[in-house]
Amino acid sequence: MLLPNQLPLRDIVVIELGHSVAAPFAGQIFADLGATVIKVEKSSGDDARGWGPPFWEGAASLFQTLNRNKQSVVCNLRDAQQLLALKRLIHESADVVIQNLRPGQVAKLGVDAKTLRAEKPELIYCNMGAFGNKGPLKDHPGYDPLMQAFGGIMSTTGEPGQRSVRVGPSIVDMGTGMWAAIGVLTALYQRKSSGSGADVDVSLFETAVSWMSVFACQYMSSGEVPGKSGSGSASIVPYKSYLTEDGELVVAAGNDALFQKLCVVIGMPELANDPQYIDNKSRVLNHKALYAILDPVFLQRPSDEWASILETAGIPCAPVNDTAEMVNHPQTAELGLIAPVPGTEMRMVGLPITLNGERPTPYRAPPVLGEHTEQHLFSTAAAAD
C-alpha cells in the first residue's frame, strides 16, 4: 500500500470550492494521489451530505465516496472576514483552486481566476462550469441529467422506439471531474518549466459532447441522426446482450472471424456465408433479421453454460452483473479495487490507476463538516461571532 508521503502529489495543495459531484470527484482524484485537498463548505455543508438514503457513518454514502482523503473547512463566503481568511489561505498555501459555484459567483466574491492570479501568478485555477465560458448559455446552471439530455447522450440511450434513458452513473459530472484533473495536471507540468500558473476551463456540456464524439462523427459523415441501439451498437453486429435461460449475457462478436466462430458454436455455420451476413456492413444493414435468429438461440441455455461455450471458442462475452455481483467478484478483489477506509467500517472503490503495481488507497476518512476550519482559517469561536 502506498502511504500518503509516498504519493506523487504529496506537495500539492488544492482548494476545492466545490459541491455535488463534479468538483468533489476532481478533488478526490488529487486527494487520492496525495495532494492536500481542503474542501470549502457552507455552514450547512455540501448539499451532497444529505443526498440519501443510504447514509453511511454520518453522511450520505454518495458524499462519503466522493470526499475521502480530504479536509473540510466551513466558510461563509458572504462574511468579509471569513472570505478574507480564505483568500489568505489561497495566497499563502494553494497550488490549485477548483470551483464549480454558480456562474458569476466567484467573480462577485473576488475569488475568481483573474483576481487571485493577479496576486499569485503561479496559481492554477480550474473553472468547472455548466455550458462553458462563452456562448448564449454560458450563465445557465447545469446538472448531470440535464447535460445527458442537452448533449445528446440520452437520445442514443435505451431501446429503439422507447423513451430516452439517462445513463445510471453520473458520467457527465464524473467525466468533467476527470477532464479537470487532466487539465490541472497538465498545467502543473507546464508550471515546472514556465513558473506560471494557468486558467483551466472545463464544463459539463463540453464533457457530454466529447462522449458523443463517435455519434457526432457518424452524423456529420452520413447526415443520418444516430438513434437508440439498446445494449448493442449501430456500427458493429452482432454486438449486444441476449436474454438467456436464467439471465442476460453480452456477446461481442465484433469481426468476421468471431462471427464465423459464433455461427459454429450455435450450430448454424451456414449463416457466416449468407450474403446478408457475410461482413459487418451487411450484418449492420440486416441486423434485425440476424438478431431475430440469434435471440431465440440464447434463450435455450443458462448464462454460465453459454459463457463457458463461448469462452472456449474464443468469443468475448460477459454476464450482465448487478452491483453486488460486481463488488463481490474475485476479479474486483484481486485487483484491489475496493479498499477499507481507515478508522471506519466503510469500504470504497479506489482510483482505477496503479503506480508501479501499487494502487492509491483511502488513507483518511471523509471529513466531518468543518473539521479543519480552525486549522486552516480561523478558530471556530471566531467563526461563530
Distance CA 151, CA 143 (A): 12
Distance CA 206, CA 175 (A): 10
- Please, are residues 244 and 306 in contact by the beta-carbon 8 Å criterion? yes
Exactly one of 139, 173, 201, 385 is catalytic; which is it? 173
Amino acid at 381: A
- Please, are residues 346 and 340 in contact by the beta-carbon 8 Å criterion? yes
Residue 87 CA, distance from chain mean position: 30
Known active-site residue 256:
no
Distance CA 290, CA 356 (A): 46
On the CB side of 384, CA atoms within 13 Å amount to 5
DSSP string, 331-375: HHHHHT-EEEPTTSS-EEE--S--BTTB-----SPPPPTTTTHHH
Written as nine digits, the cell of 157 is 440511450
Burial class (CB in 10 A: 0-12, 13-18, 19+), 190: middle
Distance CA 347, CA 352 (A): 15
Q: Which helix (H) or strand (E) holds 249?
A: strand 248-252
Amino acid at 317: C
Location of C-alpha cell 481542503: 38
Residues designated catalytic: 173
